[in-house]
Amino acid sequence: MRVAGIALAALALAGCASADGVAGQVGDAGYIAGDGIVTEIAPEQRAQPAAFAGPLVDGGEFDSAELDGVTLVNFWYAACPPCRIEAPVLAELHAELGDEVDFLGVNTRDGAAQAAAFEEQFGVDYPSILDDETASAQLAFTGIVAPNAVPSTLILDADGRVAARVSGAVTDTSILSTLLREELER
């Protein structure tokens, strides 16, 4: 009887603990929303560049060795409500800074047709990697700064090192524009 009581108490405590952990953060849509936190990394504390590659939504292959300057990398997927909110903002930012900054999307869940439909609907005209099968782009940043909440946006410096991360949807261009311009001026 005493063992059953201890087991019941442990189960109750485990239920309380999970409400405070990741399980309590997952909504009906089955994902963890970013919290809007901006993390900047000082140049002397930046890790080596992450190497990653993958198939592009519109065909062809991408390799991070092709990046040749400051880059914005956005992790997204089509059914993610915050991704749908920020897609027009990123398209606007790309129109503003696309001549000075490389833009790259990393689609974490969709196939080519679904990703292409999303990009067309929201006016996204920069390339995106399909990372749904291998997660190689996501894994490349493990241990540096994980894009563990979608959407997440990384700013890579001219050497390809992570300079900043925005976790969650960006609702206007000001934060990313400031981060990108700071990197362009370095």
Whether 4 has a pLDDT exceeding 70, the answer reads no
CA nearest to 129, candidates 119, 142, 121 = 119
For the stretch 162-180, pLDDT in tens is 999 999 999 999 999 999 9
Helix (H, G, I), strand (E, B) or coil at 76: strand
Per-residue pLDDT at 111 exceeds 50: yes
153: nearest Cα among 52, 88, 41, 74? 74
Question: Across residues 109-121, what is the average pLDDT?
Answer: 97
CA angle 173, 116, 168 (to 5 degrees): 35
Pick from 1-5, 79-83, 138-142, 164-168: least confident: 1-5
The rounded distance, in Å, linking the Cα atoms of 156 and 186 is 12
* Pairing of β 102-107 and β 71-76: parallel
Backbone φ and ψ for 21, nearest 5 degrees, come out as: -95, -160
3-state class (DSSP) for residue 161: coil
Report the alpha-carbon distance of residue 153 to residue 163 in Å, rounded: 11
Give this prediction's pTM. Answer: 0.81
Average pLDDT of span 129-146: 88
143 pLDDT band, cuts 50/70/90, is: confident
- pLDDT tens digit string along 6-54? 333 333 333 333 333 333 344 444 545 555 689 999 999 999 999 999 9
The residue-averaged pLDDT of 144-162 equals 86
Residue 144 has pLDDT above 80, yes or no: no
pLDDT tens digits for range 89-99: 999 999 999 99
| Whole-number Å distance between alpha carbons of 165 and 152 | 7
* pLDDT on residue 12: 34
Q: How far apart, in whole angstroms, are the C-alpha atoms of residue 59 and residue 150?
A: 23
Rounded Cα distance between 163 and 183, Å, is: 8
